[in-house]
Structure 1
């Protein structure tokens, strides 16, 4: 029955990929279509409001600069709101202004689509901050990732000197995709008993006669965009394990599909732009194979039970239910854990800190690879980066200039790709080592031995992959952790975006190379294998040693 549950969700995703991918293609193809009549007038008014008179297409440098400057403005405005939220409206619970380093961490976290939370939402933020900062950033950060993917696809598949207009793409991503889909999902969640209100906390009396405050708020609107935008930040501290955010198995399935659908559909969008749908299915197939392999490991590990408890002779027939919600069980918890870290969403419906050692290895490995569906836009871009790398390696092996989609892959592109590949492990492994060398870092570790290593490694891996989930056994709301993870989130987001837009900008200017019998095909089963090998080998060579010190060593000592 459990396997049927997981298979049904995967089947539903497969049914979504083509129609949603086609819709996204029509949004960004810049060709006239029926959606123009619906959204065109509204978008025109936005262009007028922001003074966007010139909507000409941009070079990759101008596109990148526009993206970064827009994000800087969002950071500045959001930081101020968090610091002075105590004097702003919609604060019925009287929550004070946020501490400076925590404000820094929070705004960087949400502008980078990470949504790492070193605070508890129901007690740390006013309703105004939840809406004007958190929900607003969930839309804008997701739109940023989507337009990066679209610009990259244009660089691979079109001719000329430009990648499109950032502001036009940025607005369309919200008006035609994120906002309408979020409205529909919000209404569905409200119908399924997820709260949506501006009333203060509910005052209740327990069965023992003691007073209790029950936090509510505009929960449904945040939950909808946090999943659709692969954001992950929870309205409540326990995130999607809270019954107000995720009350039943049906909402659990909706939330899994919501965070999975756009990253998966973008592979089909890529095939439409490439005018060869097999190209998109190759990318999708490689991603799905990885996900199924990791899902199998998570599920079987949790079903075997906790090795430490099994050694005591405790009944393991129900598997390891520690840290999991009974209303979801192991199957839906394992699927949620795998999808949320594959799609770098970061929302959680169970405590990752209580996963079995090998079960905890899966979210770590998925975030380290950072290309198995990934967040909105960035996962596709990262997988296409590995596709280009695979073509380059194969070209070197046969002594032929590598080509991808009719463009030669040369030194300039590989330098940009090398930067994107190397920066990811650098900003994970160096801060992890530094945390163990300082009392400021070691003082927050709550578990000794190998599990403590996993806690710190998970925190920086989640930050670098812009995921945001945590083992949560770490005492991370300190200036050291707020500043260090804030910097890691920033580097993890923008260095790779700049580097990969540089690749797109370089490729879009190149002349098409006609296909010959010696050209490596990138739309067949062989290339799926090459893509899987490229991702796995680079990931294994980079991160296997530190995984051995953490979850693998913990598993071996508990056997």
Structure 2
């Protein structure tokens, strides 16, 4: 933890001193201290929540030396935690954090990012230290076109589930994501590590059958949310359809080179993997899309954040084992180790800190809508804007229902608290949970042992995940996207 705080302080100082540092072709000065603090915390927690527009706020030095540095180290921290957690579950010592951090960077993140960056460069993403290109428009005016060292930044942004855009509109910008090939490549980078970590567990536990069952459970939820979002975007807004006299897809907030379908797929994928990059504006999604993106960030397991998403999956498995054991009157065991009070307390802390980090600051913000909220939409959509911002912070996602006036002292400081709570309380609890399990003696398997690598148990786990998510967050979903969907359908 001490090393992480040092990284955060280092980055904060670079941001505040950028006016005196090189690689600043547009002469940008220091940002407000609260924005720099929020940005440093956001990137050190692997969230990359942005209350700024990159090309007009931070220099190349800040983007590369500070934010780019944290994109590697914060992602590697998540990977190190995931591997330590998996080791603990399977009865091994947790290992050395620094060794796992270096291995994560040098053997996974850096090599794939180099290849990904080269492919993006070949596909039209710029990589230059030159200043903005000044061109003459058709009507004779002068226009400055921002550019910079984007290709390498974009690769680690997606691979590390960072999500922070070099430009303000993120992967909707043609210099970050110019065409269908780059869109596909960035989605593959986004999905690669979270999906692979499920099979990493299977390899450690010598139980690929269970890994496949968990994979298909998550995949089923993932596909269901994609269908829900895509149907909503395809049918569009009834009010607009009434004016047109026909059904038309919702193209508000979409890039025409991607359209409604690729935007819907990306939205579910980026909130499922906790990446947070966007290729369209989530604030413009239909209520079904708002529901899916919020639901992903509430659960954090479809597919989950960099490393920690896999750990959350197994926390739910442990809870499912415990609840099933209570129902059948057997001592709950997971991988031959008894699940007792300490494990359940830590699992509860991991799952309960998330709603506290979202709902408490959101309630305070909504209690003072005129002075604190910055809401740009009235009614139920405005509620979703506020809830989304804190959910994005606590889930280490970073995307937003933009239109929200979030670059204020209140938002920068309150979101920073959610960022820290949502990242480090679960990480510490996960490591304590894994360490406790690693020290337990294994219990011999008997005829009464509950097997966790069956379709039945995996279905029970899916039920536990969905029920806990619904019980915790259904009220805010009902007040946000669900109520908005009924309002739009009624024509109100």
The normalised TM-score by structure 1 is: 0.86
Match of 2:146 in 1: 215
The aligned residue for residue 73 of structure 1 is 6
> Equivalent residue for 2:283?
353
Q: How far apart, CA to CA, are the structure 1 residues paired with 2:242 and 2:162? A: 38
Q: Does residue 26 of structure 2 align to residue 93 of structure 1?
A: yes
Deviation at 1:313, TM superposition (A): 4.1
Q: Which stretch of the first structure deviates more once superposed, 382-391 or 435-444?
A: 435-444
Following the alignment from structure 2 to structure 1, what is the Cα–Cα distance between the partners of residues 245 and 63? 43
**Whole-angstrom distance in 1 between the partners of 2:432 and 2:456:** 28
2:35 is matched with which residue? 102
Corresponding position of 1:299:
230
Unaligned ranges ≥5, structure 2: none
Within a 5 Å distance, the mapping from 1:192-271 to structure 2 comes to 192-271=123-202
After superposition, the C-alpha distances for 1:254-303 in whole angstroms (9 at most, x for unaligned) are 11110111000000111000011112112211211110010010001100
Task: Work out whether 1:326 is the aligned partner of 2:256.
Answer: yes
Q: Match for 1:316 among 221, 226, 247?
A: 247
1:403 alignment partner in structure 2: 333
Alignment match of 2:216 (pick from 264, 285, 297): 285
- Deviations along 1:397-443, one digit per CA (max 9) or x if unpaired, are 11111011111100001100111111111111111110012357545
C-alpha distance in 2, partners of 1:421/1:518? 29
Regions of 4+ moved over 3 Å:
311-315, 439-443
Task: Tell me the residue number matched to 1:462.
Answer: 392
Q: CA RMSD in A?
A: 1.0
Aligned pairs, how many? 489
Residue in 2 that maps onto 1:8: none
Q: Secondary structure at the match of 1:213?
A: strand
1:147-183 Cα offsets, whole Å, 9 max, x none, are: 1100000001124xx3101110010000100001100
Q: Is the 8 A contact 1:324 1:333 kept in 2?
A: yes
**Which residue of 150, 158, 163 corresponds with 2:83?**
150
Deviation at 1:240, TM superposition (A): 0.3
| TM-aligned CA deviation for residue 521 of structure 1 | 1.2
How many Å apart are 1:311 and its aligned residue? 3.6
Question: 2:198 touches 2:215 (CA, 8 Å); kept in 1?
Answer: yes
CA offset digits 1:68-103 (Å, max 9, x no partner): 112111001001000000001111110111211001
- Contact 1:282–1:527 (8 Å) recurs in 2: no
Are the equivalent residues in 1 in contact too, given 2:350–2:430 (CA < 8 A)?
yes
What residue number does 1:556 align with? 486
Alignment of 1:387-536 (within 5 A): 387-438=317-368, 442-536=372-466
**C-alpha distance in 2 between matches for 1:195 and 1:447:** 35
Q: Which of 52, 62, 72 is the matching residue for 1:119? A: 52
Q: Could you list the per-position Cα deviations for residues 306-343 of structure 1 after superposition, in whole angstroms to 9, with x for gaps in the alignment?
A: 133224345433x1111111111222111101100000
Cα contact 2:365–2:373 (8 A) shared by 1: no
Shift of 1:495: 0.4
The farther-off stretch of 319-328 and 303-312 is 303-312
**What residue number does 1:186 align with?**
117
* TM-score normalised by structure 2 residue count: 0.98
Mind listing any 5+ residue stretches in structure 1 that lack a counterpart?
Answer: 1-67
* Cα distance in 2 between the residues matched to 1:108 and 1:282: 36
Contact 2:12 2:36 in 1 (8 A): yes
Summarize the Cα distance change of 1:443–1:497 in structure 2 as closer, same or farther, 3 Å threshold: closer
**2: CA distance, partners of 1:462 / 1:245:** 22
The 3-state SS of whatever aligns with 1:381 is helix
Question: Is the contact made by 2:301 and 2:309 (CA closer than 8 Å) also made in structure 1?
Answer: yes
